[in-house]
Amino acid sequence: MVSESHHMSDDWLNICRAERIDPDEVRLVYARYDAYRRYARSGTDDAGALEQWFRFYRMEKASEGEQAGPAPSGCSVDSDAVNNACIKRPAPFLQALQAFRSAAADG
């Protein structure tokens, strides 16, 4: 029998599977948020909510992509292949981040 906490910890992975989001991308982006949050708490800044931070992060990632040069000729991978779902599908990506945060808090 699967425990309820185990089921909840898989919610973010289920979102990733359903939306074809790389789980490593979710882990990477959340680690960046967590580092930002710890940094902000160490000073006088107030750490923003995940939703606010993600909106800022997505805008920054999109602008970086616009500034990057074209991919080498014949290469099917773009300049930041790992971090595309947060730009291309922000709503489900944020859902996955929120579910990952809940799983991390439970685990």
Give domain status of residue 67, yes or no: no
Q: Tell me: the pLDDT tens digits for 60-95? A: 888 876 555 555 554 444 444 455 788 888 999 999
Residue 94 within a domain? yes
Q: Give domain status of residue 86, yes or no.
A: yes
Question: Within the chain, how many helices (H) and strands (E) appear?
Answer: 6, 0
| 69 domain residue, yes or no | no
- Looking at the whole model, is its pTM more than 0.85? no
- How many domains are there within the chain? 1
- Whether 14 is covered by a domain: the verdict is no
Q: What angle do CA 27, 31, 32 make, to 5 degrees?
A: 120
Question: Which domain range does residue 88 map to?
Answer: 24-62+82-107
More confident residue, 53 or 80: 53
Q: How far apart are CA 53 and CA 70, in angstroms?
A: 28
For the stretch 22-38, pLDDT in tens is 999 999 999 988 888 87
